Structure 1
């Protein structure tokens, strides 16, 4: 989880490959109207997000019902969004890739081909609610290299097994 440009897709895909689990990119599940809104520079509202989050929770539930673990790259910026994702079943671990806005802004400036413009970073940072102590989660510093982030994530998953 984390704002756009934090590295969640990269780390999540590597974690899924290392663990042999299914992987989904939450951005790919956005309906076209959401993508168009973000592409035009309009931040999504909660009403825009609920159907998308419910679809992602259903994906989690499907894997859980089949006895399969999965990895999802998703912003999950607010506690209520994470509550929806948790409703999908099983034990959900959130890994928050967090770091200085200027580092994220720099990454977004260099990124090409993504619908999320750097101009929406401020709205995402304003919406971001860090993990609460009662949430099953791990916060990692996005400034660390992806390999180091993956090592910490895999160690945490191993400790929880």
Structure 2
């Protein structure tokens, strides 16, 4: 199966990976959350080739994760996180938590502090009904409406 065809699979893990599944996209998002907004600053911070950066920025804008707009100085365009983009923050923090635990032998390179109390920010998975913290052992996937619609379409196509 080609990479682009993955976007047609009715799976809310697979579909986002088509957009977010390469290192450059995630690093651009990391820099965006750190306040980087201009093309040349992304290049300077990441060392990414111009064409690859333009491709990733264009894709993020097309998908509504970033918005391209003129800077206050009116000379340069800026790329700003949209609401959809801000909703990706927990994903980056989950990757960071995993990296701190499994790939930082000398300890976390950066602490992400809660501005209000100086505590450390971490991600967690919990039940939306009872609030219990969950792991993979506590979750049972079941078909949702998006999968059922897709299955109904397949039945119609085969008859």
Question: Comparing both chains, which one has the higher relative contact order based on Cα–Cα distances under 8 Å and sequence gaps of 6 or more?
Answer: 1
Larger radius of gyration: 2
State the TM-score, normalizing by the size of structure 2: 0.27
Higher strand share: 1
State the TM-score, normalizing by the size of structure 1: 0.27
